[in-house]
Amino acid sequence: MAEVTRKIGLSLGADVDWPISFERIVEKLDLALPIEGDTVRFEVERLTIEPFNLRQPCRYDLILDRVTHWYHSSREWIKKAIILDDLYVLNNPWSLQSMEKHTSYCAMMRLGLPVPDTWMIPQKEYEPSPDLQTTLERYARHFDLGEVGEKIGYPLFIKPYDGGGWVGVSRIDSAEALRVAYEMSGKRLLHLQKAVDPFDLFVRCIGMGPQVRCVRYNPSAALHERYQVAFNFLTVEEASLLDDMTLTINSFFGWDFNSCEALRADGVFHPIDFANACPDSQVTSLHYHFPWLVKAAVRWSIFCAATRRKMRRTVDWDPYYEIADSDRSYREKLAAYAAIARERLEADRFEEFCATHLAHLDEVAWEFFGSDAAKEAVRLKVESLFPRHEVDEFTEHFWGMLKFWRKTEGERLGLVSAPGEGS
C-alpha cells in the first residue's frame, strides 16, 4: 500500500471567501482514504499566472477554475494540461470558450425546453476593418426594429448574446424604449427575448457535479439580497423537474459547475439564463446558501481527484438528440436527458463515495462556519466590495446569515451551537 497525494488546484481571480473556506475545510477533514490499495491524501494549492513550457508536466490532479473566461494565459495552460497530462478541470474550457448564451438557447430549444422566444439583431456599431463598409453595403439589410419588437411582443428584454452579470440587460416595454436602448448599445451583439410576464416564481438552481440546490431569487433586489432564504417553496415534482433541467443543461455542455435561472408562469418553468459556468460563489451574494456551495465543491473535487475521474474532453449530443426526436412527452424527455447526465456524472458512485468517505463533512463544515477563520473570510470579502464605512455593518450582516445557517443545519444534524451562536 502506497501513500499518495492528490493535488487540487484553485484557479482564482477576485475570489476571497470561498477559497479560504474550501482550503480550511479540506485541511480539517484530514482525509486518508483507502483507494485501490493506496492511502490517498489531498493538498490544495492556488495556481499562479506565469510563463510555461508546453511540455512541462502538470502536478495537479484536478483544478477548480474560475478565471479562464477572462485570463487567456490561464485558459491555454489549462487546455494544454488536459491534453498532455489528463488533468481534470471544472469546467471544460473548450465548451466555456464556445458555448455563449446564444448557443445555449439554441441547444435547449432543440431539446424542447420552453425557452422564451428570442431574436438576435445586428449590432448598432462595428469595429472598423478594411472590408467593413463594403460588406455592410452588399449584405446588411435595413430592418424595422419596431416591427421586430411587435413580433416578439412587449415586455421583452434586450441583452448581450454572450453577456453575464446583468451587464447591458434592460426590460423594454415599448417600441420607443427599444429604439433608445438599441441606439445606446454600441458594438454589442444583442438578443431580444420575450419576457415571461407575469410570473409567480423566479428560481436560480446551482449545479455542482450531480448536486443541485434550488434557491428562490429576486433579481430586482440589491445584489446581497437576491438569493432569498425560503423553505418548501417548490413541490416535490417541481424540485425534481428543476434538478433534471439543471443537470440536462450542465451535462449537455460538459459543465460541472453552472447555474440555471427559471421563471414559473401558469405552472411551467421557463429557463431564461443558463450559460453561467462561473456562477455566484461569494458569501456576499449567497449568504445563507454559501456553505452549501463550499461543501458541494469539496465533495465533488475530492471525489473526482480521489477516483481519478476522467475528463470528458468533447461533447456528445447524439444521445440527447435521439430523445428530443422521439415521441415522448416533454417531462419524459427531460427525465431521460437527466438520466444521461447522472450517468455521465457518476451520480450513484458519487453518492456511495460521499457516504463512505465524507460522512463527517457536514459536521466539519458546521464547525468551520462558526470559527474566527470563517468570520475573517467574510470580512475580507466584504472589504473588497463595500465602502469602508459599511464594512463592519455588512460583515455582521453576512456573519449573521451564516449563524442562521448553522442554527438550521445544526438542528438537521442534531448538533448544538455554543452559547450565543445562531441567535
Q: Look at residue 108 in the predicted model and tell me its pLDDT.
A: 97
CATH code linked to domain 117-194:
3.30.1490.20
**pLDDT exceeds 70 at position 393:** yes
Q: pLDDT class for 401, splitting at 50, 70, 90?
A: very high
CATH 3.30.470 maps onto the chain at 201-296+313-346
- Report the mean per-residue pLDDT for the chain: 94
Q: pLDDT per residue over 342-371, tens digit each?
A: 999 999 999 999 999 999 999 999 999 999
Does the predicted model carry a pTM greater than 0.85?
A: yes
Task: Write phi, then psi, for 247 (nearest 5 degrees).
Answer: -65, -35
Query: Predicted confidence band at 422 (pLDDT cuts at 50, 70, 90)?
Result: very low
CATH topology of domain 201-296+313-346: D-amino Acid Aminotransferase; Chain A, domain 1 (3.30.470)
Given a cut of 70, is residue 95 above it in pLDDT? yes
Beta strands in 12-102 (DSSP E): 33-35, 38-46, 62-65, 88-90
C-alpha distances out from residue 324 to 95, 271, 321, 377, 411, Å: 21, 17, 5, 45, 43
Pseudo-torsion of CA 203, 209, 210, 215, nearest 10°?
-20
Residue-level pLDDT at 423: 41
% of the chain surpassing 90 pLDDT:
87
The structural architecture, per CATH, of the domain 3-98 is: 3-Layer(aba) Sandwich (3.40)
Residues of the chain with CATH 3.40.50: 3-98
Comma-separated ranges of CATH 3.30.1490.20 domains in the chain: 117-194
CB 366 within 8 A of CB 294: no
Q: State the pLDDT confidence band at 1, using cuts at 50, 70 and 90.
A: confident
